[in-house]
Amino acid sequence: MDFSYYPGCSLESTAREYDESVRAVFSSLKVGLQELEDWSCCGASSAHSLNHELSLTLPARNLAIAQEIGHDLVVPCAACYNRLKSADHEMQTSKERRAFIEKTVGFQYNGKVAVRPLLDVIGNAVGLERIKARVKQPLAGLEVVSYYGCLLVRPPEIAQFDDPENPTLMGEILTALGADDHPWSYATDCCGGSLVLTKSGVAARLVNRLIDRAREAGASAIVTSCPMCQMSLEMRQNKDVQPMPIFYFTELMGLAFGLDEARDWWGKHLHSPVTIELLQSLGLH
């Protein structure tokens, strides 16, 4: 089982622990992961709101590289996934747009490479049974809620992943790891990640509503698969109360798999002391 891999800009910088945990988990599961050579930004940070044509050709360039490899493309970042999937969708549904993209990028689209979010590949291609079989240290006692954010499941006609109103796959993976995934109604609510610089007050209100509702649901941590959401949820929490740890789901997979390198990831979190304290209290660190 082999896949090509588009890490995206965040996983090369502020979300380095996400990238490290993805690679470690795939290696542990003995699933091939080939990073795209000379990949470039997908344009999620600004191109999609400033220049529609650029918002399609930037991700299409990466699709062209993936097409040369021939394996389905794994995309861990929700924003990157949304942009790459949007470009792929445009080429599948519009002959005019496809011709423009092909001419601009300089390739012939064949539609044979599927763009897949990381959750889909791990939960469906690898499968829950294989995950359960790899667990060495069940995450017993870890009370969590699964958080998808806006871009992983919407718009549904483009994302084509899980239920856009009530997604369940992340919770199924966390349950397979031994964690207690609590039901809540805010799994796809916006965290305000795109407003952090322009309307920080609004972003803070959105974040703290999510934190409050996670605690109300009985969780001691939030688990996500989006680097923008993870950063926003960590940065904008109310400083007057003890912060809530925000995990990438692959970090918890590595922890449950008993990977030694998992201990290196917590130090990269903004609230690493609280994160480590929670894991130590459960005998997991």
Question: What DSSP assignment string belongs to 166-208?
Answer: S--HHHHHHHHTT-EE---S-TTS---GGGTTT-HHHHHHHHH
**Tally of domains within the chain:** 2
Could you give the percent of the chain with pLDDT greater than 70?
99
| 185 plus 235 within the same structural domain | yes
Question: Has residue 126 been placed in a domain?
Answer: no
| 112 plus 143 within the same structural domain | no
CATH of the domain at 90: 1.20.1050.140
| 248 plus 168 within the same structural domain | yes
Cβ atoms of 159 and 152 closer than 8 Å:
yes
Q: Which residue segment(s) compose the domain that 107 sits in?
A: 2-117
Question: Has residue 223 been placed in a domain?
Answer: yes
Instruction: Note the pLDDT of residue 141.
Output: 98
pLDDT over threshold 90, residue 285: no
Tens of pLDDT along 198-226? Answer: 778 899 999 999 999 999 999 999 999 99
Query: What is the spatial order of strands in the sheet that 180-181 belongs to?
Result: 180-181, 143-147, 221-224, 246-248
Q: What distance in Å separates the CA atoms of residue 56 and residue 62, rounded to the nearest whole number?
A: 11
Tens of pLDDT along 1-32? Answer: 899 999 999 999 999 999 999 999 999 999 99
pLDDT over threshold 90, residue 50: no
The domain boundary residue, chosen from 69, 88, 117? 117
| 74 plus 168 within the same structural domain | no
- Please tell me what DSSP assigns to residue 243: P
For the record, the structure tokens of 274 come out as: 């609280």
Closest by CA position to 131, among listed 8, 274, 249, 219: 249
Question: Has residue 129 been placed in a domain?
Answer: no
pLDDT over threshold 90, residue 196: no
Asked which of 147-151, 197-201, 243-247 is least confident by mean pLDDT, the reply is 197-201
Tens of pLDDT along 125-146? Answer: 999 999 999 999 999 999 999 9
- In order of 16, 111, 151, 261, the CA distances from 155 in angstroms are 27, 20, 8, 36
Stretch 62-72: mean pLDDT = 98
- Residue 144, H or E segment: strand 143-147
| 179 plus 64 within the same structural domain | no
Stretch 50-63: mean pLDDT = 94
Question: Has residue 29 been placed in a domain?
Answer: yes
| 172 plus 256 within the same structural domain | yes
When pLDDT is cut at 50, 70 and 90, the band that residue 59 belongs to is very high
213 or 197, higher pLDDT:
213
The domain boundary residue, chosen from 85, 117, 149? 117
| 213 plus 148 within the same structural domain | yes
Question: Has residue 111 been placed in a domain?
Answer: yes
pLDDT over threshold 90, residue 189: yes
Stretch 87-115: mean pLDDT = 97
pLDDT over threshold 80, residue 40: yes
| 98 plus 143 within the same structural domain | no
Question: Has residue 125 been placed in a domain?
Answer: no
| 99 plus 163 within the same structural domain | no
Residue 13, burial from CB neighbour count under 10 angstroms (0-12, 13-18, 19+)? exposed
| 260 plus 139 within the same structural domain | yes
| 157 plus 268 within the same structural domain | yes
Length of the chain measured in residues: 285
Instruction: Note the pLDDT of residue 49.
Output: 73
When pLDDT is cut at 50, 70 and 90, the band that residue 46 belongs to is confident
Question: Has residue 145 been placed in a domain?
Answer: yes
The domain boundary residue, chosen from 60, 84, 117? 117
Stretch 165-170: mean pLDDT = 96
| 149 plus 207 within the same structural domain | yes
Question: Has residue 200 been placed in a domain?
Answer: yes
Instruction: Note the pLDDT of residue 197.
Output: 65
For the record, the structure tokens of 275 come out as: 């994160």
Asked which of 52-56, 96-100, 258-262 is least confident by mean pLDDT, the reply is 52-56
CATH of the domain at 276: 3.40.50.11810
- Per DSSP, helices labelled H in the chain are 16-28, 47-50, 52-69, 78-93, 95-105, 118-120, 128-134, 156-159, 169-176, 200-216, 227-235, 249-256, 262-265, 272-281
pLDDT over threshold 80, residue 48: no
